[in-house]
Amino acid sequence: MSEISPEQMAVLSGKLRGRRAELLALLRAARKDSGRDNLQQASGEVGDPGDESLALQLVDLNLAERENEVRELRAIERALERMRENTYGDCIDCGCAIPYARLEAYPTAERCTECQARHERVYGGRDVTPTL
């Protein structure tokens, strides 16, 4: 079970949403620079940069040159989804509560320090996050 207070959750949620807005702005700019209309399949022009469906459209794109940003955006979407489902802050491997200090430093953390270390030993130094 999560030990995070509603106030702490609000702080983390704010961090995630702020970072998401930054990434969306960056990916939008990248889309313009690329000279290709990557959003062709998305109907019409997209609206509010905070719009969740826009985020989902963008993460579906194959913005290979922005792989890191897309990966981070996906991680943020998953974190916000876990907040909605009240599972945020629980390690996805062992189910224990991830300490608030870790979440504050790394709001998209899905695992406790121990499980993350084990995960990285198995999958290499890079965080390989499973797709939804």
10/117 with CB nearer Zn ion: 117
22/93 with CB nearer Zn ion: 93
* Burial category of 10 from C-beta neighbours within 10 Å (exposed 0-12, middle 13-18, buried 19 and up): exposed
The alpha carbon of 131 is separated from its chain's Cα centroid by a whole number of angstroms, namely 12
58/98 with CB nearer Zn ion: 98
9/115 with CB nearer Zn ion: 115
- As measured in angstroms, the least distance from the Cβ of 37 to Zn ion is 42
- As measured in angstroms, the least distance from the Cβ of 127 to Zn ion is 14
The CA-CA-CA angle for residues 46, 47, 48, to 5°, reads 135
CA distances from 117 to 45, 51, 52, 81 (A): 42, 34, 31, 24
* Burial category of 23 from C-beta neighbours within 10 Å (exposed 0-12, middle 13-18, buried 19 and up): buried
- As measured in angstroms, the least distance from the Cβ of 35 to Zn ion is 44
Count of C-beta atoms within a 10 Å radius of residue 108: 22
Q: Please report, as ranges, the residues that interact with Zn ion according to CB under 5 A.
A: 91, 93-94, 112, 115
- As measured in angstroms, the least distance from the Cβ of 92 to Zn ion is 8
